[in-house]
Amino acid sequence: MIRLKVAQLLVNRPVGSSVDVRGWVRTRRESKQGFAFVELNDGSSFANLQVVIDKSVPGYDQFLKLLTTGSSVRVVGELKASPAKGQVVEVHAAEVHVYGSADADKYPLQKKGHSFEFLRDIAHLRPRTNTFGAIARVRNAVCAAIHEFYQSRGFLYVHTPIITTSDCEGAGQMFQVTTLDLALLAQQKRSLDFTQDFFGKQASLTVSGQLEAETFACGLGDVYTFGPTFRAENSNTTRHLSEFWMVEPEMAFYDLEDNMRLAQEFIQFVLKRAIERCPDDMKFFVDRIDKQVLETVENIINHEFERVSYTEAIEILKNSGQTFEYPVEWGLDLQSEHERYLTEVKFGKPVILYNYPRSFKPFYMRCNDDGTTVRAMDVLVPRAGEIIGGSQREERLDVLLARMAECHLDPEQYWWYVDLRRYGTVPHAGFGLGLERVLLLLTGMTNIRDVIPFPRTPKHAEF
Ligand code: ATP
Ligand code: MN
């Protein structure tokens, strides 16, 4: 007999057929009439499968003791229409095999309703909860949609390196990669000599694949990279991880307008696919996590994003009558309280902020003719705040070199990046989207540590 997953079984509903299902017991109860009900979940869907086990099933008294919450089991039986409310079909067991029991006195998920903080400390077991199962399925649907979006538009998926020796743009603090024996060096009071290190120079984990992605865009057209990204900032917020996943498309012959349009289409496509593919999981998020979440997502899917220049945004914030913790002044970066005001209060939809002051933006962003701003764009959304940061890139060699000098960067260190402007330079643009920020938006979860399987944050990398 072929094993069926619960999701297949619930969709196909082959009533009357024999089935073989395997999974973990969520709950078990016994009826007075001498049979047991088991709620089985195998991760393939949000819904559990109800299994009815009559005491005439061989070995009933022995396996019943083992069939605790959390135990793993194989059931062979017949699929029947369910007379009870709550499910269309149920399985009537003919054979039950328990792979492993779970001690009811010790199993941490014996009871329901644990806090997310508690579950973070048992990250190896939280995939078995409703919430984390739903998040995992939505995360998967989002990743598939990301590839679908770019593949259907002829973008090439390129892999940019995780270990890098170029201090990428100063996007964030970097984690060092070294094989030097630091303890020994400290003990011997010797200074670090990177020529003796594995790569012969200082190396780090990437904070962005953008610079490398540009090399492919400037030869192959439209590309995207999608992978883990590492930032060592000591920022203990609910929106920052030390290791997160970023999607970075980079497009030759795109200007800032094209970039903004792609960003909007991309976000809308991914959100739409995720809610189409995971309706039961989304229903759970609405019922149990955040009543507004689906409405917010649908609102984003169905409306044009507001485009506001940085200069206009400063005016709006200054005239808002709000008191902010951080100052609002032309030339200062916006804080998340300002971003939230714009996207949640003022416009009630996503906002694309563009043309930021060059003073606090990286060297590679294209300079505007006004001499003070660059062609940067950030996409802000209700709840999650900034989910995209991007720009049109500076393709003019002389302007790029002047900007590097202004930022005290050595063009020698970026020789290959500068070369792209020497040989067949083209206007191009791109952006980075934080996967986990999208998941905050989609699930209504409020802490980014809960939308990645194994969160890494300052002082935390247990699993
Ligand atoms: P923020 O201002 O929120 O710290 P950033 O401006 O430093 O973000 P970018 O360098 O623009 O971030 O990175 C592009 C995108 O990557 C961001 O818009 C965000 O979605 C995501 N991102 C950046 N840093 C983190 C982080 N530490 N954890 C999770 N996602 C992040
Ligand atoms: Mn940014």
Q: Is 171 left (phi over 0), alpha (psi -120 to 50) or beta?
A: alpha
Cα of 35 from ligand 1 centre, angstroms: 54
Cβ 432 under 6 angstroms from ligand 1 = yes
Q: Looking at the structure, do residues 88 and 165 belong to the same domain, yes or no? A: no
What are the tens digits of pLDDT across the range 152-211? 999 999 999 999 987 645 556 899 999 999 889 889 888 888 999 999 999 999 999 999
In 278-414, which residue ranges form alpha helices assigned H by DSSP?
A: 279-284, 293-302, 310-318, 336-340, 397-406
Cβ 308 under 6 angstroms from ligand 1 = no
In this structure, is residue 52 part of a structural domain?
yes
Q: Looking at the structure, do residues 42 and 191 belong to the same domain, yes or no? A: no
pLDDT at position 171: 56
In this structure, is residue 105 part of a structural domain?
no
Neighbours of ion ligand 2 (CB under 5 A): 389
83, 100, 117 - which closes a domain: 100
Cβ 250 under 6 angstroms from ligand 1 = no
Cα of 171 from ligand 1 centre, angstroms: 9
44, 65, 100 - which closes a domain: 100
Beta strands across the sheet bearing 428-434: 156-157, 222-230, 243-252, 428-434, 385-392, 373-381, 351-357, 306-309
Cβ 240 under 6 angstroms from ligand 1 = yes
CA distance 380 to 388: 7
Write the DSSP string, 212-247.
Answer: HHHHHHHHHSEEEEEEEEE-------TT--SEEEEE
Q: Looking at the structure, do residues 149 and 53 belong to the same domain, yes or no? A: no
Q: Looking at the structure, do residues 299 and 414 belong to the same domain, yes or no? A: yes
Number of domains in the chain: 2
* pTM, full prediction: 0.96
8 A C-beta contact, residue 376 and residue 390: yes
Q: Half-sphere exposure (CA, 13 Å, Cβ side) for 192? A: 14
Q: Looking at the structure, do residues 30 and 163 belong to the same domain, yes or no? A: no
And the tokens for 92? 């009537």
Cβ 249 under 6 angstroms from ligand 1 = no
DSSP conformation class of 368: P
Take atom 4 of ligand 1 and give the residue whose Cα is closest.
240
Cβ 455 under 6 angstroms from ligand 1 = no
Cα of 83 from ligand 1 centre, angstroms: 51
205, 208, 242, 246: residue to mutate for ligand 1 pocket, most atoms within 8 A of CB: 246
Closest CA to 356 of 380, 377, 379, 339: 377
The sign one gets for the Cα dihedral 136, 344, 332, 234 is: negative
Q: Which is it for strands 306-309 and 351-357: parallel, antiparallel or unpaired?
A: parallel
In this structure, is residue 206 part of a structural domain?
yes
Take atom 8 of ligand 1 and give the residue whose Cα is closest.
386
Q: Looking at the structure, do residues 82 and 150 belong to the same domain, yes or no? A: no
What are the tens digits of pLDDT across the range 14-30? 889 899 999 999 999 99
- Structural domain including 144 reads 126-450
Q: Looking at the structure, do residues 317 and 426 belong to the same domain, yes or no? A: yes
pLDDT at position 101: 97
Query: Residue 178 maps to which CATH number?
Result: 3.30.930.10
And the tokens for 259? 């970039």
pLDDT at position 170: 58
What are the tens digits of pLDDT across the range 49-61? 999 999 999 999 9
pLDDT at position 210: 96
In this structure, is residue 57 part of a structural domain?
yes
Write the DSSP string, 45-110.
Answer: SSS-EEEEEETTSTTHHHHHHH--TT-EEEEEEEEEE--STT-SEEEEEEEEEEEE---TTT-TTS
65, 100, 135 - which closes a domain: 100
pLDDT at position 447: 97
What's the whole-number average pLDDT of the chain? 95
User: Taking the chain (463 residues) in consecutive chunks of 10 residues, what is each chunk's mean pLDDT?
Assistant: 89 86 96 92 96 96 95 97 86 97 95 92 95 98 98 98 76 87 88 91 94 97 97 90 98 98 98 98 98 97 98 97 95 95 96 97 97 97 94 98 94 95 98 98 97 96 86
pLDDT at position 341: 96
Q: Looking at the structure, do residues 319 and 384 belong to the same domain, yes or no? A: yes
Take atom 12 of ligand 1 and give the residue whose Cα is closest.
389
Q: Looking at the structure, do residues 43 and 142 belong to the same domain, yes or no? A: no
CA distance 34 to 139: 41
